[in-house]
Amino acid sequence: MTWLVALLLAAGVLLVASPWLWPHTDRPRSGRRSPLDPLGELLARAGLSTVNPIVLLAVMLLLAVVGAAITIVLVPVVALAPVAAAGAAALPITALRTRSAARRRALRQVWPDVVDHLVSGIRAGLGLPEAIGALTEAAPDEVRGAFREFRREFARTARFGESLDGLKSSLADPIADRIIETVRMAREVGGTELPSVLRALAQYLRSDAAVRAEVDARQSWVRNAARLGVAAPWLVLLLLGTRPEASAAYNSTGGAVLVLVGLGVTLVAYRLMIALGRLPEEGRWFR
């Protein structure tokens, strides 16, 4: 128990000191990717771009330690400790992916309206910065904050390109990337076809959202079956582990190997089921 208290205390001190140990910077990203970049991208897709990936990593470590300790106390099977640690550490990632998917579905429904409002502003004679800034009042609630930040940044710097980059980073959505790059190109090369292009894009986005919603509803049973298939055997194993004779069997070398092999098979089967039920998502090609 002493080592557990020490680990929890160390994790708490690490979380408190993290703003000074790893301060947030706005330096441009170099060509080399950091190992923490995937976590940062996941946080951005979930709408938490201001959270440092180091904090997420520390929370995952803390949950892993707590999950392993609770499992050892309740179920005296040593081989289950790494399984519980892995499951507890994956909880934040699962929650962020769920939040990211929900956010992307919500944004997919509002982008056609955003494009319509943008076209209305352009046809009313507003400049591109003013038309985008006007979305602060006209756009749906899900994206107003990002456009409000764009208007504030453009008013402060008067740099349209950099303000668009900040808007794109804040929204962290592939459809938003396409809209923003279309507007950027119209700003740089000029032309009168921007309203027509945006109207065609809005029509495509509406039809794509309708098709995706229908297919996603049909595929939801695959994802639910995968989650149930992962949880059920481990819940049974936890119940069996509370019995002395079962815990003695699983604490042997053969029992530990069986648990670890079962963990590997579970992970592979879960990934296969999720891959079968996943719809292909559009990548962010204009970051």
Checking if the pLDDT of 224 tops 80, the result is no
Q: What number is the average pLDDT over the span 19-25?
A: 47
In this prediction, residue 179 carries a pLDDT of 85
pLDDT reading at 286 higher than 70: no
Which class for 44: exposed (0-12), middle (13-18), buried (19 or more C-beta within 10 A)?
A: buried
| CB-count exposure of residue 17 (10 Å: 0-12, 13-18, 19+) | exposed
What pLDDT score was predicted for residue 257?
85
What is the model's pLDDT at position 283? 63
> What is the rounded average pLDDT of the residues 33-47?
78
Residues 37-64 have a mean pLDDT of 85
For residues 279 and 219, give the distance between their C-alpha atoms in angstroms, rounded to a whole number. Answer: 9
Cα 286 from chain centroid (whole Å): 18
Taking phi over 0 as left and psi of -120 to 50 as alpha, with beta for the rest, 40 belongs to: alpha
Mean pLDDT, residues 82-106:
85
Among candidate residues 233, 230, 235, 217, the one with its CA nearest the CA of residue 272 = 230
| Section 211-227 average pLDDT | 75
Query: Does the pLDDT of residue 27 top 50, yes or no?
Result: no
* % of the chain residues with pLDDT over 90: 1
Average pLDDT, the chain: 79
C-alpha–C-alpha distance, residues 131 and 179, integer Å: 13
pLDDT band at residue 166 under the 50/70/90 scheme? confident
Give 3's pLDDT tier (boundaries 50, 70, 90).
Answer: low
What is the rounded CA–CA span in Å between residue 250 and residue 259? Answer: 8
Spacing of C-alpha 91 from chain mean position: 12
Average pLDDT over residues 201-214: 82
The H-assigned helical ranges of the chain are: 2-21, 37-45, 53-74, 80-123, 128-133, 135-138, 141-157, 160-171, 174-189, 194-241, 244-250, 253-277
Provide the percentage of residues in the chain whose pLDDT is more than 70: 84
pLDDT computed for residue 225 by the predictor? 77
- CA distances (Å), origin 134, targets 113, 141, 149, 152, 220: 13, 13, 12, 12, 37
pLDDT in tens, 6-19: 566 556 655 655 55
Per-residue pLDDT, 62: 92
Determine contact, residues 119/198, Cβ cutoff 8 Å. Answer: yes
pLDDT confidence tier of residue 1, bands split at 50, 70 and 90: low
What gap in Å lies between CA 143 and CA 165, rounded to an integer?
Answer: 15
Helices 194-241, 80-123: inter-axial angle, 10-degree rounding: 160
Q: What angle do CA 239, 243, 248 make, to 5 degrees?
A: 115
CB-count burial class (<10 Å; 0-12, 13-18, 19+) for 244: exposed
pLDDT tens digits for 231-279? 888 888 878 777 887 778 888 888 888 888 888 888 888 778 777 766 6
- Mean pLDDT computed over 214-222: 74
Neighbour count for residue 180 (Cβ, 10 Å): 19
33 band by pLDDT with thresholds 50, 70 and 90: low
DSSP string, 223-249: HHHHHHHHHHHHHHHHHHHTSHHHHHH
Within 10 A of 147 (CB to CB), how many other CB atoms are there?
A: 22
d(CA 188, CA 236): 62
The Cα 211–Cα 216 span in angstroms is 8
State residue 19's pLDDT score.
Answer: 52
The pLDDT tens digits of the residues spanning 118-158 come to 888 888 888 888 888 888 887 777 788 888 888 888 888 88
Residue 81 scores a pLDDT above 60: yes
Residue range 164-189: average pLDDT? 83
